[in-house]
Structure 1
Amino acid sequence: MPHDRSLEGYLRRPEFATDLLQITKGVIAATGAWWISDAVLDSQMPFLAPWTALLTVHATVYRSFSRGVQTTIASTIGVGVSFLIGNYLGVGLWTFALAMFVGLAGARLSWIRDEGVAIATTAIFILGSGFDSQQPLLVDRLLELALGVAVGLAVNLLMIPPLRDRQAARYIDSVNRQMGEVLTDMSDQFSRSWDSDAAQEWFERTESMSRELQSAWQTVRFARESRRINPRTAIRARRLRRRGDTADSAEKESYENILFRADEGISHLRNLARTLREASSSEREWNTSFRDEWASIVADAGRSIADPDAEVEPIFDRLQQLSTDISQDRSLPETTWPIYGSLITSLRHIVVIVDDVASTRSARESD
């Protein structure tokens, strides 16, 4: 996604603020868990609590909760495996290897797959730090693991749980802006002249947009996840209910629907580029009236997608009038109709999407 490459622009990116907040949360959670474990519980293994706290602090509260539960289960299994093997088989080369095998095999269980490796790492901590001294302290080890998870969850709940709306909005706006820029460039060159290289460049830019759209989808899904088990979401919902606002439903429409529509728009834009690329290699005289009006409509469509607040004449009506005028022009050679028809059809689909882009952008900004 294009960004301001200056230092100030980098520091103002929402991703920077989110990453910095995530680092801060990890530091506070791990340090707090270590202090409680060392100073309050006087633990002989004060690294278990900060380790699980660090594993629990994820980018969203929902993920912290789900991964925290998995970490607790996996670590508890790891403690149990360690004490069973150490107590009945002793600690040695082969028993340590057995503990690792059991731990890594258990990590493949689907219901703890994300944090299943904690079975093996917990066994490493316990067996590798002197099993004989740890054997009587099984309950203490479990308490420290639970402490780490609790501290991680508490920190993530209390320290401004992220919503990621701004990142999602920036991706959406970036894709729209690029579509608008390609249409504007296409209009400018079509009104004068263009070659296959220019058309190929437009085609490749649509491919780049499709790749960026995948990143946009990931960010939007992450934004949805960040709303689950998030106190900011509940507070925001209460505020909206007091105002009688329905912005949440409009905002949902703005993110999911606009990405679907943007994907359609990119497909039609790619088809436009392909048609113009093929037309550039053929020798034909373009109808001046069609060329001027189609280029004007494309330019306004590009402006409307890139900036929904831009003042343009009603695009769809102009395109319909262009179709009518061309169909009544008896002087057009029959061989030009497939190309003209393809350009009009693709642009008609994009024009419909323009209205969706403008309305969903308006809904998102009102939210």
Structure 2
Amino acid sequence: MPHNGTPTNFLRRPEFTTDLLQIAKGVIAATGAWWLSDNVLDSQMPFLAPWTALLTVHATVYRSLSRGVQTTVASAIGVGVSFLIGSYLGVGLWTFALAMLVGLAGARLSWIRDEGVAIATTAIFVLGSGFDSQQPLLADRLLEIALGVAVGIAVNLIVLPPLRDRQAKRYIDSVNRQMGEVLIDMSKEFTSSWDTDSAEGWFERTEAMSRELDSAWQTVRFARESRRVNPRTAIHAERRNRQSSAGEAPEKESYENILLRADEGISHLRNLARTLRDASSAERDWDDEFREEWAAIVAEAGRSIADPDAEVGPIFDRLEKLSASISQDRRLSTTSWPIYGSLITSLRHIVVIVDDVASARDTRESV
């Protein structure tokens, strides 16, 4: 994840805030469920409710609901298995092992796989806490489990359910900035000279961008999940609708579309680096007009994609003029055309992506 090294910036990172929020939610949910179980239900096993509450507090409301249902079902099965085995076979070494076998086998069921281990852990709690005294209280145990799940879901709904948009924006912004920085470095080196090591460094930086883009995709998917069954989503949607009706806020470009364009841009940038790497290993006399103008266009494109607020000229038009000028220059050798054509074509694709990224600036956030 892109980050700044100072402690203050680290503490301001949205994922750090989210982690703290998740800790607070877990504490509130478990403590609240324990208090209700002990003081309202007067439970003899007040740890079942806080345990299930803790299992239910996930990073998104949608996941809390889906996992909460799974936890409820799995825990209910665990209670049922425990009472059946304890009632008919008694509690002993082999019957305890049997309960574990059934519980862990049941955990493999696809529809409760995420929380299926709760079958076995619930059996441990019930069989290991004095089964004879718990036998008449099957309904109470199920009620405590349901209470824990309900408290966990309620806490996740009420206590600032995360939207994760800021993390997604930071990733997108970081990838775009790195693309721009590589283009600017290419321009500086290409203006005078460059070597294979420089070109190899650019190539490796595009590989690092691809890895960061993978993390960005994961964060964007999580951001989408965090919007499902989230009361803050409705609030934000209503606010955007009011702003849109008042002409204040245009429709935002989706993160997925921006990431797809960024992925394509990285691919073309990698091709540029590969072309320059291969060209650096061969003796070649570059056309001065092409070299100067192409380097200038690359610098403009780099500044534009790294900073959408930067004032740049009509990049695409300049590239078209360069292409037309070179095509009419009969001084170029036949061996130069493949290199020049590859550089122009890759940069043309990147320039189109630069315009797309600039038009989607509302989805970006300064780091």
State the TM bucket, normalised to the shorter chain.
over 0.9
Q: Which residue of 1 aligns with 2:64?
A: 64
Tell me, yes or no, if the aligned pair for 2:173 and 2:364 is still in contact at 8 Å: no
Q: Alpha-carbon deviations, 1:103-152, whole Å to 9, x = none? A: 11111111111111100100011011111111111011000000000000
After superposition, the Cα gap between the structure-2 partners of 1:137 and 1:111, relative to the gap in structure 1 and judged at 3 Å, is same
8 A contact 2:2–2:171 mirrored in 1: no
Q: Closer, same or farther in 2 for the Cα pair 1:85/1:169, shift >3 Å? A: same
Superposition map of 1:113-128 within 5 A: 113-128=113-128
Q: What is the CA–CA distance in structure 2 between the aligned matches of 1:202 and 1:25, rounded to whole Å?
A: 44
Total equivalences in the alignment: 364
- Structure 1 residue 187: deviation in Å? 0.7
Tell me, in whole angstroms, the C-alpha distance in 1 between the residues paired with 2:248 and 2:142. Answer: 45
**Alignment match, 1:146:** 146
Residue 250 (1) aligns with residue 251 (2): yes
User: Following TM superposition, by how much is the alpha carbon of 1:163 offset from its aligned partner in structure 2, in angstroms?
Assistant: 0.5
| Structure 1 counterpart of 2:59, one-letter code | A
Contact 1:106 1:119 in 2 (8 A): yes
**Residue type matched to 1:250 in 2?**
E
Alignment partner, residue 239 of structure 1: 239
Aligned to 1:345: 345
State the alpha-carbon separation in 1 of the partners of residues 313 and 84 from structure 2: 77
Q: Which residue of 2 aligns with 1:200?
A: 200
The 1:56–1:241 alpha-carbon spacing in structure 2 relative to 1, beyond 3 Å, is same
Matched, 1:12 2:12: yes
Check conservation: 1:250, 1:364, Cα contact below 8 A: no
**Alignment TM-score, normalising by the size of structure 2:** 0.97
Give the C-alpha shift of residue 38 in structure 1.
Answer: 1.0
**Aligned 1:175-324 pairs, distance under 5 A:** 175-245=175-245, 250-251=251-252, 253-324=253-324
What is the root-mean-square deviation of aligned Cα atoms in Å? Answer: 1.4
Aligned twin of 2:51 = 51
TM-score by length of 1: 0.97
Between the aligned partners of 2:241 and 2:185, the Cα distance in structure 1 is: 45
Structure 2 CA distance for aligned equivalents of residues 87 and 295 of structure 1? 82
Q: Given that residues 2 and 170 in structure 2 are in contact (C-alpha distance below 8 angstroms), is that contact kept between their aligned partners in structure 1?
A: no
In structure 2, what residue type is equivalent to 1:282? A
- Tell me by how many angstroms 1:361 deviates: 1.6
Q: In structure 2, how many angstroms separate the alpha carbons of the residues matched to 1:38 and 1:307?
A: 57
Q: Answer yes or no: is the 8 Å Cα contact 1:191–1:295 preserved in 2.
A: yes
Is the contact between residue 172 and residue 364 of structure 2 (CA under 8 Å) also seen in structure 1?
no
1:228-271 per-residue CA deviation (whole Å, 9 max, x = no partner) reads: 100111122223333445999933x3311010000000000000
**Aligned equivalents of 1:233 and 1:83: distance in 2?**
43
Superposed CA deviations along residues 76-107 of structure 1, whole A, max 9, x for unmatched, are 00000100111111111111111111111111
In structure 2, C-alpha distance between the alignment counterparts of 1:262 and 1:12, rounded to whole Å: 26
Q: How far is the alpha carbon of 1:362 from its aligned partner? A: 3.2
Amino acid at match of 1:295: A
Q: Deviations over 1:42-64 (max 9, x none)?
A: 11111100000000000111100
TM-superposed CA distance for 1:36, in Å, is: 0.8
3-state secondary structure, aligned to 2:284: coil
The percentage of aligned residue pairs carrying the same residue is 80
Matches within 5 A, 1:79-118: 79-118=79-118
Alpha-carbon contact 2:33-2:151 (below 8 Å) kept: yes
d(CA) in 2 for partners of 1:323, 1:238: 48
Q: Does the 8 Å contact 1:183/1:301 carry over to 2?
A: yes
Alignment partner of 2:104: what SS? helix
After superposition, the C-alpha distances for 1:3-47 in whole angstroms (9 at most, x for unaligned) are: 111110111111111111111000000000011111221111111
Distance (whole Å) between structure 1 residues aligned to residue 77 and residue 241 of structure 2: 45
TM-fit CA distance, 1:364:
5.6
User: Is there any run of 5+ residues in structure 1 with no aligned partner, and where?
Assistant: none
Relative to 1, partners in 2 of residues 1:335 and 1:270: Cα closer, same or farther, differing over 3 Å? same
Q: Which amino acid aligns with 2:204?
A: E
Q: Distance in 2 between matches of 1:239 and 1:8?
A: 31
Structure 2: runs of 5+ lacking an equivalent: none
Which amino acid in the other structure matches residue 34 of structure 1? W
